[in-house]
Structure 1
Amino acid sequence: MISYLKGDLAEKNPSFVILDVNGLGYRVRISLNTFSQLPEQGSIKLYAHLIIRDDEHTIYGFYDQEEREMFLRLTSVNGVGPTMALLILSSLSAQQIAQAVLEEQTKDFQRVKGVGEKTARRIVMELNDKIFSFSSNKPMLSGKKNMRKLEAVSALEVLGFSRKNTEKSIDILLRDEPSLSIEELVKEVLRSI
């Protein structure tokens, strides 16, 4: 398996690059987010994922590991292939995808060409539990407020409460009192039920 490619940028297009690695030119498919972060020329490093099919071998390249991990999560969703995953990553950053999944914002995905309502719902549903496990073992969302919300929701789910209702309650609590700790959030939700 190819983990990354490092070489000179021989050609740069919005959908692919040609990377010269010791005299061998690799055609690597990329997202618009990766395209916008690459220099016009010089040496670059792309995190890669190779997909082998009967009729072709395709290398997908990503500017950072977070984008590659999100690509892998997206392609694990039933009905989302590599091309659609690249389209989604061209329209939304990995952070925006994680946020949309956690907030169940299917409309964010429906704005991507080729993603209908059914596919958007499937993405949100299937990625909801997978959004935290990335190579860095850190949640995609940063910030203390989001971390406290996620921890509190997880604790309440373990107690048997529905994710959707607890998220709404916690959002209201954090809006009114942004400094509440995880324990305080859980206690306040339990009191309100």
Structure 2
Amino acid sequence: MIDSLNGEVLSVGLDHAVIECAGVGYRFLAGPPTLARLTRGDTTRVLTSMVAKDDGVTLYGFVDDVARTMFHKLQTVSGLGPKLALACLSVFEPAELAGLITAGDAAAIKRIQTIPGVGKKMAERMALELKDKIDGLYEPLEGKAPVAEAAPAGASLASEQVVEALVGLGFAEKTARPVVDVLVEENPSETSSALLRAALTQLGSK
């Protein structure tokens, strides 16, 4: 099992990155909170979770053990797989999601439903099956590492990349595009990763 990767960052995409370790490039899927802290050419350590299925083996990357632990706990919920678990952590920080799950009230359930792919039944199932597993486990995260800066993409290209990433996460294009267009107009020099994170925050609060 591959527990972590430590090496040079070869590339960073909107939903994945590649790190070279001992001459081998390892591609892993990750959410905006992890990808935003990676910079091409830097030597970085990323924690990983390896998921093996009939169609192959996939690595998922995380910037810290809190996020990886939540990723594993989310998958203990009936019908909640790794891709949906990653979507959960793309919309909410682990501590924030844990708070919603432990609250388990109508307002919290409604907020959990903003995660693409999570309907009312899944949100209720998450609250029911995880409440006792994560109650009091996470504290609010402090002193977050600054978002790594990258060369700004062109506004049009950045917009299309972010919309494509959001659609891949399960948002409807007609819902995602207006949010992205406004963000790009207000922050024309912002990186694609930062725009994706901002879009997820806005879409998750609706």
- Common topology (TM > 0.5): yes
Q: 1:16·1:29 contact (CA, 8 Å) conserved in 2?
A: yes
SS in 1 for 2:60: strand
Q: Which residue of 2 aligns with 1:116?
A: 119
Q: Which residue of 2 aligns with 1:139?
A: 137
Counterpart mapping for 1:36-55 below 5 A = 36-55=36-55
Q: CA RMSD in A?
A: 1.6
1: CA distance, partners of 2:50 / 2:96: 24
Runs of 4+ in 1 over 2 A off after TM superposition: 37-41
Q: 2:9·2:38 contact (CA, 8 Å) conserved in 1?
A: no
- Which residue identity is paired with 1:87? A
Q: 2:10·2:40 contact (CA, 8 Å) conserved in 1?
A: no
Identity fraction in percent? 31
2: CA distance, partners of 1:72 / 1:117: 21
Residue 126 in structure 1 maps to residue 129 in structure 2: yes
Q: Which residue of 2 aligns with 1:22?
A: 22
Compared CA separation, residues 24 and 110, structure 1 to 2 (3 A): same
2: CA distance, partners of 1:2 / 1:52: 12
1: CA distance, partners of 2:40 / 2:98: 29
Q: 1:99·1:141 contact (CA, 8 Å) conserved in 2?
A: no
2: CA distance, partners of 1:41 / 1:30: 18
User: Which segment is superposed worse, 53-62 or 36-45?
Assistant: 36-45
User: Which segment is superposed worse, 39-48 or 115-124?
Assistant: 39-48
Unaligned residue ranges in structure 1 (runs of 5+): 133-137, 144-193
Q: What's the CA shift for 1:142?
A: 5.2
Q: 2:50·2:58 contact (CA, 8 Å) conserved in 1?
A: yes
Q: What's the CA shift for 1:36?
A: 1.8
2: CA distance, partners of 1:17 / 1:142: 27
2: CA distance, partners of 1:81 / 1:10: 28
Unaligned residue ranges in structure 2 (runs of 5+): 142-206
Residue 4 in structure 1 maps to residue 7 in structure 2: no
